[in-house]
């Protein structure tokens, strides 16, 4: 099993997500049903889920989901984890035997907190940044180990197989989340690697993506200049890092970050009134290398909410719907209707126009 | 007296049956090749003076003239190519430095010609520029790494973004001075720059009074000779450029022979007419990067930080480190001129043997600036042998923000690259200060041709972007994955940051 793919993998896919803005937890069975109806957009080559709110009892700990391709990789990684973290709980990931799924890596999860000493020695005053760097170091430097989930009170479950099979394997139905994000994959060549499936995730961020980034070359070089190392060679990795950079590190509001990824055309900007014109002109001047070109639809979870976004000329499908506290996003309307027969509103968001849905302000999770 | 001269390089064939002896060609030739032989009653040619500029051929109403290469034979020797033997003859006769013009004429292989571009199919679609918007707009200037906003009603920008210049297409006109060029050519360039939404660069010869109305589309240069530099000049311009070096003659100063310094040129440069305008090799106040910084900030101060300051440097071996220094010195734009960059006059030996290709220079500078976290601080302009929209696209994919064109613009005005600009005899009136010659350039017509060229290249660039599946130029910029090398050695590929053809993404 290789943990760094030889070449970059392009893919088409299905995406599906929903959130209950009141914070009510919804069983993973529902998101599995959503994805099952889009089976012909997926293949047996990769699927995954991200659930928010799934570890309420351990919500103050970073939940590290790690895959290993050998016991040696596990030993070496755990040595590193012990030197940096106080480990609250350490367990084998609960899974179920599924006939069609083979060659699963060793899967473990750890609930951790940075140790005071390691944090002080790192000279990083921010725990998130400390965790992010550690994750990057493991993924880039520790052969045979891959951290695929590292947020708090959330978790990513993914692997090589159809969405329903992966769900069964990871026992997704046993988790309850206020926000679910899911993906079924249709790659153009065989990755055969579990870490390459979606969602891609760092800290509380998770991202599922349908599309191929035609601006990959410059997006990647831009991220490298900003201190990221793209080890997976997947387009989605680039998307995830861009969101991390724009929102977490640069503090852009999610809406403006979307406008960096899929900027308005100059024609539109020229027609805007001040100070909007200045806002969008400067975003394009400063963040041109972070704009993502080529067909895409993405859904991105960020802890308290999610947003969906299309490329600016909408080259991939993405439908949104609303009913009560619920907001849905999926590649196909039929998938939404499979779990909500009577949505109050169904719409087809314009290219580059984000759909942002988050917990109501007074909801604590 | 022994005779050492070489046989002529070109020979004029005049078809006597077609020629009606109208004498038009005798006027057209700026080099005095053709005259009317009253005794014989026909046109005669002094072949040795011909530079193959084609003016006579193009303007002969009877199409009676053909300019041919003189096919005289030399004994073959790979060790002594003919041009080297001829250089020795000429130098033995004069004892001086041999002068020439235009760009490097040696047969170094073009790297552009060994790079190919990408196109999309199926997995990511190509985009049709006839049906979808395709954006070429480009800004040059220094950028902060991030932006801050505050929300009050809508979003408000809190960060101050340094001044930028805006190009509607990522091409500007290279620095070419009045003096090297004739005034009508400067007017053509200025008008075209305004129409196409781009910029003319004055070069080191100052800005003629007639061109002040175009100042919004003009970048003014401050070179080591400081010709024509004064308060109003700096204030009028859209941006100011400090010229450190030039691709055709890295390390040496400008040279405008006195014959080309007529009244207009003299007034604009603020020097007496008829004197040689020689700018020193280095700026006499710049002997280090700290000195450059002082000049950069002196200029910024003089215009109250209202416009970007560009620094033009020639591509030489250590260009990456030099460019980083220039970025740290406060430049907002770095313009790099490759070793094929042209000139109005330069020693042949320097033009042909000093410097490195622009493809390499852009690649290493863009990469080093990224490694040092400086890439946002400066915009990069590449010049020196941008010959087509393909070169333009490749230079941008290697990392340039925009490209500057000089020779291509002159060719659009009729230039035949005869390399005799320094003589002041340009038959096309482009680089001549003789009124009967420069009068041949009509600024309106010239501007139209230049605008056509820019439009043609821009349309082609849009096709290239569409084929690459992107709809704005910033998605190609620095995206070296869209390039593949054919027949380039491994080290060159590595330096370029480009994979060989056949390598997957
Ligand atoms: S120099 Fe030009 S115009 Fe004169 S004869 Fe030669 S080709 Fe004709
Ligand atoms: S500008 Fe005139 S003199 Fe110079 S190379 Fe072109 S045609 Fe020859």
Distance CA A340, CA A141 (A): 44
CB A96 within 8 A of CB A76: no
Q: Which residues of A are catalytic?
A: 13
pLDDT at B2: 62
> What tens digit of pLDDT does each residue of B304-330 get?
999 999 999 999 999 999 999 999 999
What spacing in Å lies between the alpha carbon of B86 and ligand 1's midpoint? Answer: 21
pLDDT at B208: 97
pLDDT at A355: 96
CA–CA min distance A215, chain B (Å): 5
> What tens digit of pLDDT does each residue of B191-224 get?
999 999 999 999 999 999 999 999 999 999 999 9
Helical (H) or strand (E) element with A183: strand A179-187
Geometric angle at alpha carbon A2, from A16 and A198, rounded to 5°: 10
Confidence class of residue A5 from pLDDT cuts 50, 70 and 90?
A: very low
- Of B313, B203, B322, B184, the closest CA to residue B254 belongs to B203
More confident call, B110 vs A122 = B110
Architecture of domain A14-358: 4-Layer Sandwich (3.60)
N- to C-terminal Cα separation, chain A: 38
The DSSP string of B263-300 is HHHHHHHTS-TTS-EE--SS-TT-SSHHHHHHHHHHHH
Query: The complex's ipTM?
Result: 0.92
Sign of CA dihedral B331, B336, B341, B347: positive
Distance CA B187, CA B208 (A): 9
- Residue A287 CB neighbour total at 10 angstroms: 27
- Of B154, B376, B159, B398, the closest CA to residue A286 belongs to B376
Model confidence at A41: pLDDT above 70: no
Model confidence at A138: pLDDT above 90: yes
CB B452 within 8 A of CB B467: no
Region at A233 (left for phi over 0; alpha for psi -120 to 50; beta for the rest): left
Q: Which of B4-13, B44-53, B60-69 bottoms out in mean pLDDT, i.e. has the lowest?
A: B4-13
pTM: 0.92
Ligand nearest to the CA of B100: 2
CB contact under 8 Å between A294 and B469, yes or no, is: yes
Q: Which tokens belong to A216?
A: 């990959």
Geometric angle at alpha carbon B477, from A139 and B365, rounded to 5°: 80
pLDDT at B398: 98
Whether residue A315 lies within 8 A of chain B, CB to CB, comes out as: yes
Residue-range domain boundaries for chain B: 3-96, 166-315+332-447+474-500
Q: For residue B29, which atom of ligand 1 is closest to its CA?
A: 3
Confidence class of residue B390 from pLDDT cuts 50, 70 and 90?
A: very high
More confident call, B338 vs A2 = B338
The DSSP string of A36-97 is HTTGGG--TT-EEEEEES--GGGTTSEEEEEEESSHHHHHHHHHHHHHHEEEEEEEEPP---
CB contact under 8 Å between B370 and A224, yes or no, is: yes
Environment class of residue B8 by beta-carbon count within 10 Å: exposed (0-12), middle (13-18) or buried (19+)?
A: middle
Confidence class of residue A42 from pLDDT cuts 50, 70 and 90?
A: low
Choice from B57, B185, B420, B446 to test ligand 2 binding pocket (greatest atom count within 8 A of CB): B420
pLDDT at A194: 86
Model confidence at B227: pLDDT above 50: yes
Q: Where do we find the tokens 């209202």?
A: B306
**Strands annotated E in B304-430:** 309-314, 333-337, 346-347, 379-383, 402-405
Residue-range domain boundaries for chain A: 14-358
The mean pLDDT of B381-402, rounded to a whole number, is 97
Q: Which of A178-192, A319-333, B312-326, B462-476 bottoms out in mean pLDDT, i.e. has the lowest?
A: A178-192
What spacing in Å lies between the alpha carbon of B115 and ligand 2's midpoint? Answer: 29
CATH of domain B3-96: 3.30.70.20
CA–CA min distance A295, chain B (Å): 6
Q: For residue B425, which atom of ligand 2 is closest to its CA?
A: 3
Confidence class of residue A3 from pLDDT cuts 50, 70 and 90?
A: very low
Q: Which tokens belong to A344?
A: 């109050």
Percent of the residues in chain B that have a pLDDT greater than 90, as a whole number: 89
Q: From 3.20.20.70, 3.40.1280.10, 3.30.2350.10, 3.40.50.2300, which CATH number describes the B166-315+332-447+474-500 domain? A: 3.20.20.70
CB contact under 8 Å between A313 and B376, yes or no, is: no
What residues contact residue B31 under an 8 Å CB cut-off, 6+ apart? B49, B50, B51, B53, B420, B423, B425, B427
> What tens digit of pLDDT does each residue of B328-362 get?
999 999 999 999 999 999 999 999 999 999 999 99
Q: For residue B30, which atom of ligand 2 is closest to its CA?
A: 3
């Amino acid at each position: 099993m290789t943990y760094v793919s030889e070449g970059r993998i392009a893919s088409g896919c299905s995406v599906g997500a929903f959130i209950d803005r009141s914070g009510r937890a919804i069983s993973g069975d529902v998101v599995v049903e959503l994805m099952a109806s889009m089976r012909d957009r997926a293949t047996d080559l990769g699927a995954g889920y991200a659930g928010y709110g799934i570890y309420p009892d351990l919500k103050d700990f970073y939940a590290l989901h790690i895959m290993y391709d050998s016991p040696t990789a596990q030993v070496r990684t755990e040595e590193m984890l012990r030197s940096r973290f106080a480990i609250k709980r350490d367990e084998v990931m609960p899974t179920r035997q599924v006939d069609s799924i083979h060659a699963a890596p060793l899967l473990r999860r750890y609930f951790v907190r940075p140790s005071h000493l390691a944090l002080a020695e790192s000279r990083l005053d921010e725990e998130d940044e400390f965790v992010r760097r550690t994750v990057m170091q493991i993924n880039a430097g520790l052969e045979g180990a891959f951290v695929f989930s590292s947020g708090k009170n959330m978790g990513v479950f993914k692997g090589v197989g159809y969405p329903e099979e992966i769900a069964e394997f990871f026992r997704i139905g046993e988790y309850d989340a206020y926000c679910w994000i899911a993906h079924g994959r249709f790659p153009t060549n065989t990755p055969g690697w579990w870490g390459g499936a979606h969602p891609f995730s760092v800290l509380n961020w998770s991202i599922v993506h349908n599309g191929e980034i035609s601006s990959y070359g410059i997006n990647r070089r831009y991220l490298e200049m900003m201190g990221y190392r793209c080890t997976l060679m997947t387009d989605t990795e680039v998307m995830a890092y861009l969101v991390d950079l724009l929102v977490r590190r640069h503090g852009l509001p999610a809406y403006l970050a979307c406008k960096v990824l899929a900027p308005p055309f100059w024609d539109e900007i020229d027609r805007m009134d001040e100070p909007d014109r200045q806002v969008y002109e400067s975003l394009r001047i400063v963040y041109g290398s972070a704009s993502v070109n080529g067909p895409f639809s993405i859904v991105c979870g960020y802890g308290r909410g999610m947003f969906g976004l299309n490329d600016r000329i909408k080259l991939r499908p993405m439908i949104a719907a609303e009913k009560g506290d619920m907001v849905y996003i999926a590649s196909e309307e039929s998938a939404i209707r499979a779990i909500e027969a009577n949505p109050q509103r169904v719409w087809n968001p314009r290219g580059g126009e984000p759909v942002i849905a988050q917990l109501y302000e007074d909801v604590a999770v | 007296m022994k005779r050492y001269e070489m046989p002529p390089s070109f020979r004029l064939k005049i078809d006597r049956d077609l020629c009606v002896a109208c004498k038009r060609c005798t006027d057209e030739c700026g080099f005095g090749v053709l005259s009317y032989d009253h005794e014989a009653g026909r046109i005669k040619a002094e072949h040795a003076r011909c530079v193959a500029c084609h003016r006579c051929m193009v303007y002969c109403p009877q199409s009676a003239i053909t300019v041919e290469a003189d096919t005289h034979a030399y004994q073959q020797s790979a060790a002594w190519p003919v041009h080297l033997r001829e250089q020795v003859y000429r130098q033995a006769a004069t004892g001086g430095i041999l002068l020439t013009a235009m760009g490097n004429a040696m047969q170094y292989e073009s790297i552009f010609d060994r790079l190919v571009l990408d196109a999309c199919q199926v997995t990511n679609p190509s985009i049709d520029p006839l049906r979808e918007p395709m954006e070429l707009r480009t800004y040059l200037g220094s950028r902060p790494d991030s932006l801050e906003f505050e929300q009050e009603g809508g979003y408000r920008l809190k960060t101050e973004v340094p001044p930028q210049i805006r190009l509607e297409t990522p091409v500007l006109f290279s620095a070419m001075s009045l003096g090297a060029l004739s005034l009508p050519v400067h007017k053509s360039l200025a008008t075209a720059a305004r129409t196409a939404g781009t910029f003319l660069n004055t070069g080191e010869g100052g800005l003629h009074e007639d061109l002040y109305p175009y100042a919004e589309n003009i970048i003014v240069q401050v070179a080591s000779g400081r010709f024509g530099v004064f308060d109003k000049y700096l204030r009028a311009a859209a941006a100011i450029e400090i010229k450190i070096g030039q691709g055709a003659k890295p390390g040496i100063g400008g040279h405008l022979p006195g014959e080309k310094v007529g009244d207009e040129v003299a007034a604009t440069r603020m020097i007496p007419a008829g004197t040689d305008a020689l700018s020193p090799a280095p700026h006499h106040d710049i002997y280090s990067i700290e000195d450059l910084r002082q000049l950069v900030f002196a200029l910024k101060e003089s215009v109250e930080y209202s416009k970007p300051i560009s620094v033009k440097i020639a591509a030489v071996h250590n260009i990456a480190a030099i460019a980083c220094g220039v970025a740290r010195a406060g430049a907002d734009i770095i313009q790099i001129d490759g070793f094929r960059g042209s000139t109005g006059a330069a020693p042949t030996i320097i033009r042909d043997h000093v410097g490195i290709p622009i493809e390499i220079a852009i690649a290493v500078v863009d990469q080093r600036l990224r490694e040092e976290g400086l890439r946002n601080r400066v915009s990069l302009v590449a010049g020196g042998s941008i010959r087509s929209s393909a070169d333009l696209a490749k230079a941008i994919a290697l990392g340039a923000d925009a490209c500057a064109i000089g020779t291509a613009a002159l060719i659009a005005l009729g230039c035949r690259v005869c390399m005799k600009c320094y003589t002041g005899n340009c038959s096309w009136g482009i680089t001549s200060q003789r009124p009967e010659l420069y009068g041949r350039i009509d600024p309106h017509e010239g501007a139209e041709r230049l605008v056509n060229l820019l439009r043609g290249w821009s349309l082609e660039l849009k096709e290239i972007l569409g084929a690459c599946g992107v709809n704005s130029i910033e998605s190609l910029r620095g995206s070296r994955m869209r390039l593949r090398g054919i027949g380039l050695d491994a080290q060159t590929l590595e330096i370029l940051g480009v994979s060989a053809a056949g390598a997957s993404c």
